[in-house]
Amino acid sequence: MLTETIFEDDRWQEAGLETLAETAAATTLAHLGHRAAEYEIAVLACDDARIAVLNADFRGKPRPTNVLSWPEEDLAPEAAGAAPEAPEPGDEADPHHLGDVAIAWETCQREAAEQDKPFAAHVTHLMVHGVLHLLGFDHIRDKDATVMEAHERAILGKLGISDPYRSDQGPSGP
């Protein structure tokens, strides 16, 4: 499997995070022309308290957030709007570790409700977003955000999930 999910909060098991994460990660890699079997990603399924500690430790922001990513290597482009470097592939016997993603239950649930989106669709979007970060995409610079969001829209479209950046739509997705 491409993803290995570590469950610190059992609510994620009931929500099917393992399948959602695997599908989101594999679709993201395929969209970018990478073979999923050549890579691995660790996913931490946690709660708001745990992600607040991680957010404080790694970003200096002592509050919960929806998803955090820790790339194994910096693939980000120097020029705004440029494509990131491609990660070195591993192989099926020894896949290349792309990095780690943590996702928080309460924040994801609250955001899905506030945005009137199915929980699974929102979580899938956040997993796609996190995997794109592992692959060197970012949204701090405007041109980079435009590129990253275009990939998110295309990937989610392949999964039957509506554009998460449109505010004039009702619930969508699985």
Q: How many CA atoms lie within 13 A of 46 on its CB side?
A: 20
Cα–Cα distances (Å) from 168 to 108, 122, 171, 172, in that order, read 20, 16, 10, 12
| Dihedral (Cα; 112, 174, 68, 60), 10-degree rounding | 0
Please tell me whether 34 is known to bind a ligand: no
Please tell me whether 139 is known to bind a ligand: yes
CB atoms within 10 A of CB 156: 25
Please tell me whether 129 is known to bind a ligand: yes
Residues annotated within a binding site for Zn(2+): 129, 133, 139
Q: Which residues are annotated as a binding site?
A: 129, 133, 139
